[in-house]
Amino acid sequence: MTGSPRILLVDDEPSIREPLAAFLKVEGFVPTPAPDAAEARRLLTGERFDLALVDVMMPGEDGLSLAKHLVAEHDLPVILLTAKTDDIDRIVGLELGADDYVGKPFNPRELTARIKAVLRRAGRASGAEEEAGAELRFDDLVLSPEEMTLTGRGGKAIELTGGEFRLLLVLAERAGRVVSRDDLLELTQNRTAQIFDRSVDNQISRLRRKVERDPGKPSLIKTVRGGGYSMAAKVERR
**pLDDT, tens digit, 9 for 90 and up, residues 36-82:** 999 999 999 989 999 999 999 999 999 999 999 999 899 899 999 98
Tell me the C-alpha distance between 14 and 1, whole Å: 30
Cα distances (Å, whole numbers) of residue 98 to 51, 53, 94, 147, 234: 11, 10, 5, 23, 39
Which pLDDT belongs to residue 62? 92
Dihedral Cα 189, 193, 197, 200, nearest 10 deg:
40
28 & 103 share domain: yes
Given a cut of 60, whether residue 14 has pLDDT beyond it is yes
Q: How many domains does the chain have?
A: 2
Phi, psi for residue 150 in degrees, rounded to 5: -125, 120
pLDDT band at residue 166 using 50, 70 and 90 as cut-offs: confident
- What pairing do the DSSP bridges indicate for beta strands 30-34 and 6-10? parallel
Question: DSSP code of 133?
Answer: T
Q: What is the pLDDT of residue 122?
A: 72
126 shares its domain with 150: no
Instruction: Check whether residue 20 and residue 103 sit in a common domain.
Output: yes
Write down the pLDDT at residue 193.
47
Helix-strand-coil split of the chain, %, nearest 5:
40, 20, 40
Cα–Cα distance, 146 to 151 (Å, whole number): 13
Distance CA 44, CA 50 (A): 11
Instruction: Please report the pLDDT score of residue 148 as a whole number.
Output: 85
Q: Burial, 106: exposed, middle or buried (Cβ in 10 Å; 0-12, 13-18, 19+)?
A: middle
Other CB atoms within 10 Å distance of the CB of residue 21: 18
**Region 114-134: what's the mean pLDDT?**
68
pLDDT at residue 88, rounded to an integer: 67
Domain boundary at 89, 108, 130, which?
A: 130
CATH code of the domain covering residue 157 = 1.10.10.10
Are residues 101 and 140 located together in one domain of the fold? no
Q: How confident is the model at residue 196 (pLDDT cuts 50, 70, 90)?
A: very low
Domain of residue 174 covers 134-237
pLDDT for the residue numbered 66: 95
Confidence of residue 195 (pLDDT cuts 50, 70, 90): very low
Q: Note whether 117 and 168 are same-domain residues.
A: no
* Final residue of a structural domain among 113, 130, 147: 130
**Domain co-membership, 103 together with 13:** yes
- Lowest mean per-residue pLDDT among 36-45, 119-128, 159-168, 169-178: 119-128
Q: Are residues 163 and 47 in the same domain?
A: no
- CATH value at residue 102: 3.40.50.2300
* CA triple 93-96-98, angle to 5 deg: 60
| pLDDT tens per residue across span 73-122 | 998 999 999 876 566 666 777 777 888 888 888 888 888 888 988 888 77
Q: Which of residues 130, 158, 184 is at a domain's end?
A: 130
